[in-house]
Structure formats: C-alpha cells, structure tokens
C-alpha cells in the first residue's frame, strides 16, 4: 500500500514536471497572430495589407506608406492585454489556470514623405507574454497534502527598423522594411510538494533565459487595378543571427517513509545556441473603398514552415471601417489565429497543445485637424485539447480567451 | 524574335495598365476625415481672403492709427485672449481706427479693429479685453458668413464662399466684390442678428473669466456707452447693435444663471493708463 502511494506521489511529481515541460521555451510559438498592431489595423482584425497608408504600414505592408497623407507620428499601446488559458481537471479534479497580463506600448512609428518616396521608422512589439503566478493546492491528490507553485515568466519580441516606399504613378507602389528582431525570454518556476503522510518533501527550481537577435526583411507591393480597389502583397521571413539559451534546474527530494531518510539532489545547467527557424510568411490583401466613409478589407496570411513538426497554415482576417461623420469613425474586424502544429492523431503524446483561435475587434477613432485618438477592444477565444501527461495519449480540454484594450494616438507632423 | 516582341508588347501593356488604369486611386483612398479637414483648410484660406477684402473696405472708410506702442499693446491683449477661441488656424490682426466714433469691428478671417473713440472711453485693460473678445467671437463663430446665408447643402458654412472664391472667372470676382459690399454694409448699417450679438457678449464674458480678467469691467464699459450713444458719439454702433439696456440686462441674467457674480479678476488699470496716457 505504502509503495502504491509512493508511486502515485511520484507520478504526481512527474505530472507537474511534464505540465511545465509543456510550457516550451516560447510562451506561444504555435500561433502567429497573438497581438494585433496599430491604430486602424488592430481594430479591423489586423487586415491591413491592401491599406497600410499610415506608419503602421511599415509592419503590415511597407508599400502602403507611399499613399500616406502627410507626415505623421503614431503610437499605440495595449492598455490591457489579458489572456486566460484553462486546462480542465489538470491537477486532480482541479483546473489549472494560466493567466498572462501585459501592459505594453506595442507600436511607435514616424513617417515622412518626400516627393514620390516615403520613409518610416517603426518599433513594434508583436508578441508579449507576461505571467506571474502563485498557486497553492491543498490535498490535490490523496497522496499529496500540499502543492505550491510559483511561476514568473516574460517573453517579449521587439521589432525595430526603417522602411522605404516608392510610388510608381498613382496606382502602383513598392516598399521595403528591414526590422532588427530582438527577443527576450526568461522564466523562473518553483514548486514545493509535501506528501500526505508527512514523510516526503520535494522542491524544484528552474530558471531559463533566452536571447535571440535576428533580422526580418519585408517586401511589399500595392496595386490599384481600379480606383476603388487596392490589392497588396507582402513576403517576409525572420532569420536569427544569434540565439543563446541557458537553463538551470535543481531538484531536491526527501523521503522518510522507510525509516531511513533518503535524499536525492540534482542540479543541472544547459546551454544552447541552436537557432529557431521561422516560417516564410506571404500575405495577400484586397480592399474596397466604395465611398470616403466606408471601406472593406480582407487579408489572407500563409505561413510556410521551415521547422520539422510544424504545419503550413492559412490565417484569414477581414474588417470594415465606417465614418459616422467626418470626424468620428468606427471599425470592426474578424480574424483567425490557427495553430501551426499538425493535426493530432492517435499517436500524439505529451507535451502537445492543439488550439485554434478566432478573434473579433472593434474600435472608435476621433479625428481632429491634426491628430487622431483611437480606443478599441480585441477579443479572442479558442478551444482545443492538451496532452499533458508524460508519454500518455490522455487529453484534457483546453480553452483560451484573451481581451485587449487598445489605445492609439497619431499626430500630423 | 516574334515571340520576344509579343512578350515585350504584353509586358508594356501590363505596365501601361498598372500605371494608367487609375489616375484617381490616391483620391479615392482619402477617407472622410482627410477630405473634411482638407476642405476646412481650404475654406479657412478663403475665409481669410474674403475677410481681407472686407478689412480693406473698413480701412477705406477709416484712417488707421499709426501709433506702434498702442497698436502693439492692443495686439498683445487681443492675441492673448484669442487663444480661448479654439480656432488656432487663424492668425488675428489687430488695428486701431483713427476715429472718435465709438465702435469696434471684426472682419472674417481674423481682422479686428477698435476705434480711438472706444479706447478713450475705456478705463482699464479688462474693458479692452472684453471689447476685443466680443469681436473675436464674431470671427470665431463666423457670424458674418452665417448671416450672409452662404450655407451650402453640406455642413461647411463657408462652402458658399469657397465656391465664389474658388473661381477665377470674371463672374466669380464680381460675386466676391458683391459679398464684400454686403459684409461691409452689415458692419456699418445693418448689423448682425440680435442673437449673434448676445452670443458674442456672453462668450466674451467667458473668455474674460478664462483669462483671469474682471468680468464686471465689460459690463461697466457697456454701461458707460449709454450717455455717448445718446450724444450721437457712436452712430454706427447704435445702428448695428441691440440697445445697451437689452445687452446689459441679458448679460446680468447670464451672470446670475451661471453664478458668475462672485468672480473677480484683474483689471490692469495702471498698465492700461500708462499706455493710453496720450489719448
């Protein structure tokens, strides 16, 4: 009996390790559209490839900045980016809830026109996951009296760099952006486990740090086959120049159940310079401008994977903009954020999370003669399955919701 | 060779199609706010052009006072108070008309005049600020343009002027001259509507309070006009404005309604007298 209990406890320890092993080095590298950027773009579901006629265009389609009206300075921030992921009944009968909260100024751009040329410098934060969690479970299993965990994680990707665009006539433009890509990731995870019979303790500590430096060139094209219609296309791919990882793990187990105290201590450091491979990203967009007060836009994003174990995916987005009057506009958008992992089958084992996400956005902008102010909200929701237990095909229901409040301002120079 | 020629022909045809198919593309991409503010900007330019013509007519009737010190002082007070108007796109010009007739004028586009007769009657800077504020409100609220009933079907009140001034034809120039005459006649004979004058009085009072001037001084000035009107020293003013009693009582109501009677502000009497000592 004692042995059986010890086995259960041991399995629980493994479970915990595996749950957190599933938190890969990247907070969410299974999705490409976790944060929408910009003023108009973010509130139209990120569908902006065929518009991009402001400094946000540096990120969506540098060709579009050739059609920007005047010089401008723009900035936007997510007043709140809150994400909640729930693994149903992951720890005994209890759900494991992960919450990420970030308050990030995620876009800044300055745009200048010179004759048929446009130049821009932009700073973008396309990914930001910040998670601070302290959880205590009392009696989560019959063999476990107390389980405490502390998790502090930050994973932020930054892009910054210049863009240039050139207009050929009034219907064709070409643009280029060269971003320097920098990613900083750190995670500290600690847990403490006490057995139900008061004879065993386990302490685990993990610290991981990763820094990535790279380049992301983006080429864009915009063409208007008809005065009310614009099509756009972009191609980009990130290439890492440097990647340095360091991981430290320490584990301490005390077992007094046999009468003879048994101690187990492990310490390990891992270093790696292996570089991730990013997908080739192609985006197409089409926008229809029936009146100065109305526009419709649709984008398709295709990601061709360069990594084994990833799938090629298509994401879709669409939006509309409507002016209530010349100084007040509202926008709507819908978008998908599909997982880049292959469809699971009977041989799929942990760690694995299969989650497709859908999102909706809404925004309001007030314009004055030289500036604009946008307030918006983006909501996403998705459900799927998570394979949490080591070597097991057993799954748990996985749901994710996020809410983002967007605040943007732009001013003419 | 024939094949190459065909490809080249196809390539240049596509290029031509791309380049020439939509000359209006950029225009159709402009959003409602771009068009609106572009029109506003154009209308402001035209309003200024129009006002310049009206100001020229005022200066044709009255001589301008060439006293740099006094004009600079009036400009400083007027410019300071104009910040309350909310029309930063307009640059305001201030002048003193060399006439004993007590009055002040505002031409569209930011041309403000006060007469020497009015300055002589004033006792402090707050009174001057009040009179200038009253005239500034006429500009800010486009009272003359509204009275000329130039409103078009769209929301821009100056689009009628825009239509007239936008044209370079002889008929457009004649129409503009006619508009200038009408505006001048309004300033000298007909006056603005009673509501516009009361609006200017009330907003002037708000501007005085916002800039820290004593609001009562403006009422005192209005009161001081009464005997001079009776003596015929403000002929144009009496023709073009509601009676002083009416304006005064309406302002008192406004003050009471908004509980402004306890507000006190600066009068800068000493500074005013120092500058205007030679009057």
pLDDT greater at residue A390 or residue B247? B247
pLDDT at B149: 65
Least reliable range by pLDDT among B28-42, B60-74, B199-213, B260-274: B28-42
User: Of the segments A71-85, A219-233, B160-174, which one has the largest average pLDDT value?
Assistant: A219-233
**Residue A51: per-residue pLDDT:** 96
Q: What does the pLDDT look like over B233-260, one tens digit per residue?
A: 777 887 888 888 999 999 999 999 988 8
**pLDDT reported for residue B158:** 46
A369 and B37 within 8 Å at the Cβ level: the answer is: yes
Whether complex ipTM tops 0.90: no
Residue A130 has pLDDT above 70, yes or no: yes
Q: How confident is the model at residue A70 (pLDDT cuts 50, 70, 90)?
A: confident
Partner residue facing A171 (CB), from B19, B37, B89 = B19
Is residue A232's pLDDT more than 80? yes
Rounded Cα distance between B97 and B70, Å, is 11
- A69 contacts B36? CB cut-off 8 A: no
Which position has the higher pLDDT, B143 or A1?
A: B143
pLDDT at A349: 80
CB A63 within 8 A of CB A154: no
Q: With an 8 Å Cβ cutoff, are A230 and B41 in contact?
A: no
pTM across the whole model: 0.73
What distance in Å separates residue A50's CA from the closest CA in chain B?
Answer: 11
Question: Taking CB atoms and an 8 Å limit, are B32 and A323 in contact across chains?
Answer: yes
At residue A324, does pLDDT exceed 80? yes
Give the torsion sign (CA, A55, A57, A63, A68).
Answer: negative
Is A6 in contact with A274 (CB distance < 8 Å)? no
> Which positions in chain A touch B40 (Cβ < 8 Å)?
369
Phi, psi of B44 (to 5 degrees): -65, -45
Compute the CA torsion angle B57, B60, B61, B65 (nearest 10 deg). 120
Tell me the shortest Cα–Cα distance from A372 to chain B, in angstroms: 10
Q: Return the pLDDT at A136.
A: 87
Lowest mean pLDDT among A253-257, A356-360, B173-177: B173-177
Helices and strands in chain A, H and E counts: 3, 16
Segment A313-341 shows an average pLDDT of 96
Q: Cα(B29)–Cα(B35) distance, rounded to whole angstroms?
A: 10
pLDDT at residue A17 is higher than 70: no
CB B105 within 8 A of CB B112: yes
Judged by CB atoms closer than 8 Å, whether chains meet at A326 and B18 is answered as no
More confident residue, A102 or B79: B79
Give B194 or A297, the one with higher predicted confidence: A297
With 0-12 / 13-18 / 19 or more C-beta atoms within 10 angstroms meaning exposed / middle / buried, residue A357 is: buried
H-run or E-run covering A16: helix A2-21
What does the pLDDT read at residue B160? 55
Q: What is the pLDDT of residues A272-282, one digit of tens each?
A: 999 999 999 99
**Average pLDDT of the residues of chain B:** 84
Which pLDDT score, from 0 to 100, does residue B39 have? Answer: 82
In sequence order, which residues have a C-beta less than 8 Å from that of residue A106 and are 6 or more positions away? A35, A37, A76, A77, A78, A124, A125, A126, A128
How far apart (Å, rounded) are the C-alpha atoms in residues B51 and B107? 5
- The predicted pLDDT at position A307 comes to 86
pLDDT digits (tens, 9 = 90+) for A19-55: 554 454 456 788 999 889 988 999 999 999 999 999 9
| pLDDT, average across residues B220-225 | 92
Q: pLDDT tens for residues B98-146?
A: 999 999 999 999 999 999 999 999 999 999 999 999 999 999 998 998 8
pLDDT-derived band of residue A182, with 50, 70 and 90 as boundaries?
very high
pLDDT of residue B2: 64
- Identify the CA nearest to A161 among candidates A232, A234, A55: A55
- What is the rounded end-to-end Cα distance, in angstroms, of chain A? 77
- Inspect the interface and report whether the beta carbons of B31 and A292 lie closer than 8 Å: yes
Confidence band of A133 (pLDDT split at 50, 70, 90): confident
pLDDT above 80 (res B173): no
Contacts 24+ apart (CB under 8 A), B4-13: none
A314-323, A384-393, B119-128: the lowest-pLDDT one: A384-393
Range in A121-125, A160-164, A167-171 with the lowest mean pLDDT:
A167-171
pLDDT at A87 over 60: yes
Q: What is the pLDDT of residues B11-65, one digit of tens each?
A: 556 555 555 554 455 677 888 888 888 888 888 888 898 899 999 999 999 999 9
CB B170 within 8 A of CB B177: no
Distance CA A3, CA B178 (A): 107
| Percent of chain B scoring above 90 in pLDDT | 48
pLDDT at B36: 84
Position B38 scores a pLDDT of 82
Distance from CA of A91 to the nearest CA of B (A): 54
Structure tokens at B215: 């609001």
Q: Exposed, middle or buried: residue B110 (CB in 10 Å: 0-12, 13-18, 19+)? A: buried
- Taking any CB pair shorter than 8 Å as contact, residues of chain B touching chain A are 17-37, 40-41, 89, 155
Check CB contact of A366 with chain B, cutoff 8 Å: no
Q: What is the C-alpha to C-alpha distance for residues A163 and A182, in angstroms, rounded to an integer?
A: 17
β-strands A262-272, A239-255 pairing: antiparallel
- Is B32 close to A329, i.e. CB distance below 8 A? yes
Distance from CA of A323 to the nearest CA of B (A): 7
Half-sphere exposure of A86 (CA within 13 A, CB side): 12
How confident is the model at residue B221, as a pLDDT? Answer: 94
Pairwise CB contact (< 8 Å): B24 & A170: yes
Packing angle between helix B125-140 and helix B215-230, nearest 10 degrees?
90
pLDDT score recorded for residue A81: 85
Q: Give yes or no for residue A258 having a pLDDT over 80.
A: no
Q: A390 or A86: which carries more pLDDT confidence?
A: A86
Residues of B in contact with A226 (CB under 8 A): 21-22
Partners of B17 in the β-ladder: none
Task: Provide the strand spans (E) within A115-228.
Answer: 117-141, 144-168, 172-195, 200-226
B152 vs A370, which has greater pLDDT? Answer: A370
Q: Contact A369/B41, CB-based, under 8 Å?
A: yes
d(CA A278, CA B256): 71
Closest to A27 in 3D by CA, of A378, A335, A402: A402
Greater confidence, B18 or B177?
A: B177
Question: Which residues make Cβ contacts (< 8 Å) with residue A100, sequence separation at least 6?
Answer: A27, A81, A82, A83, A84, A85, A129, A130, A131
Q: Report the pLDDT value the prediction gives residue A261, as an integer from 0 to 100.
A: 79
- CA nearest B24 in A: which residue? A227
Q: Indicate the DSSP class of residue A275.
A: P
Q: Nearest to residue A275, comparing CAs of A321, A318, A214, A356?
A: A214
């Amino acid at each position: 009996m004692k042995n059986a209990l010890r086995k259960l406890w041991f399995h629980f320890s493994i479970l915990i390790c595996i749950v957190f092993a599933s938190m890969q080095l990247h907070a969410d590298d299974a999705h490409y559209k976790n944060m929408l950027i910009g003023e108009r773009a973010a509130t139209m579901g990120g569908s902006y490839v065929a518009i991009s006629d402001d400094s946000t265009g540096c990120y969506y389609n540098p060709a579009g900045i050739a059609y920007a009206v005047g010089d401008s300075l723009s900035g936007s921030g997510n007043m709140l980016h809150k994400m909640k992921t729930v693994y149903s009944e992951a720890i005994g009968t209890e759900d494991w809830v992960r919450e990420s909260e970030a308050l990030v100024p995620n876009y800044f751009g300055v745009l200048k026109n010179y004759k048929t040329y446009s130049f821009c410098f932009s700073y973008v934060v396309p990914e930001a996951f910040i998670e601070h969690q302290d959880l205590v479970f009392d009696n989560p299993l019959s063999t476990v009296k107390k389980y405490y965990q502390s998790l502090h994680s930050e994973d932020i990707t930054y892009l910054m760099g210049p863009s240039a665009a050139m207009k050929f006539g009034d219907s064709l433009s070409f643009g280029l952006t060269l971003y320097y890509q920098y990613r900083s990731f750190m995670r500290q995870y600690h847990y403490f486990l006490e057995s139900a019979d008061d004879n065993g303790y386990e302490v685990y500590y993990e610290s991981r740090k990763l820094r990535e430096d790279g380049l992301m060139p983006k080429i864009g094209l915009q063409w208007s086959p008809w005065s009310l219609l614009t099509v756009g296309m972009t191609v980009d791919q990130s290439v890492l120049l440097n990647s340095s990882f360091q991981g430290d793990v320490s584990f301490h187990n005390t077992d007094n159940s046999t009468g003879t105290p048994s101690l187990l201590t492990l310490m390990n450091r891992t270093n790696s310079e292996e570089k991730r491979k990013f997908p080739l990203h192609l985006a197409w967009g089409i926008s229809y401008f029936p009146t100065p007060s109305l526009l419709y836009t649709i984008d398709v994003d295709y990601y061709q994977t360069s990594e084994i174990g990833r799938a090629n995916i298509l994401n879709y987005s669409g939006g509309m903009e409507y002016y209530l009057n010349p100084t007040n506009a509202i926008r709507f958008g819908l978008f998908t954020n599909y997982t880049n992992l292959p469809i699971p089958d009977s041989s799929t084992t942990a760690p694995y999370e299969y989650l497709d996400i859908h999102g909706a956005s809404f925004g309001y902008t007030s314009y004055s003669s030289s500036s604009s102010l946008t307030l918006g909200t983006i909501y996403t929701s998705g459900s799927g399955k998570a394979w949490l237990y080591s070597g097991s095909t057993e799954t748990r229901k996985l749901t994710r919701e996020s809410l983002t409040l967007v605040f943007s301002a732009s001013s003419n120079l | 060779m024939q094949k190459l020629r065909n490809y080249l022909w196809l390539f240049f045809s596509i290029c031509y199609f791309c380049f020439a198919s939509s000359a209006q593309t950029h225009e159709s991409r402009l959003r409602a706010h771009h068009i609106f503010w572009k029109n506003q900007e154009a209308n402001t330019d035209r309003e200024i052009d129009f006002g310049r013509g009206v100001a020229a007519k005022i200066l044709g009737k009255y001589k301008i006072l060439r006293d740099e010190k006094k004009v600079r002082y009036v400009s400083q007070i007027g410019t300071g108070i104009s910040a309350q108007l909310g029309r930063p796109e307009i640059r305001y010009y201030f002048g003193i008309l060399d006439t004993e007739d007590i009055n002040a004028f505002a031409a569209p586009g930011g041309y403000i005049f006060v007469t020497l007769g009015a300055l002589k009657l004033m006792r402090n800077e707050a009174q001057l600020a009040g009179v200038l504020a009253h005239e500034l409100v006429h500009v800010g609220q486009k009272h003359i343009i509204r009275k000329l009933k130039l409103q078009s079907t769209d929301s821009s009140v100056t689009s009628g002027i825009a239509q007239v001034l936008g044209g370079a034809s002889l008929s457009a120039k004649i129409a503009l001259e006619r508009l200038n005459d009408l505006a001048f006649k309004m300033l000298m004979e007909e006056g603005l509507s009673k509501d516009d004058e009361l609006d200017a009085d009330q907003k002037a009072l708000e501007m005085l309070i916002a800039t820290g001037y004593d609001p009562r001084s403006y009422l005192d000035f209005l009161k001081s006009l009464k005997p001079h009107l009776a003596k015929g020293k403000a002929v144009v003013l009496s023709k073009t404005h509601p009676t002083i009693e009416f304006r005064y009582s309406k302002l008192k109501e406004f003050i009471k309604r908004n509980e402004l009677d306890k507000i006190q502000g600066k009068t800068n009497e000493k500074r005013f007298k120092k500058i205007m000592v030679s009057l």
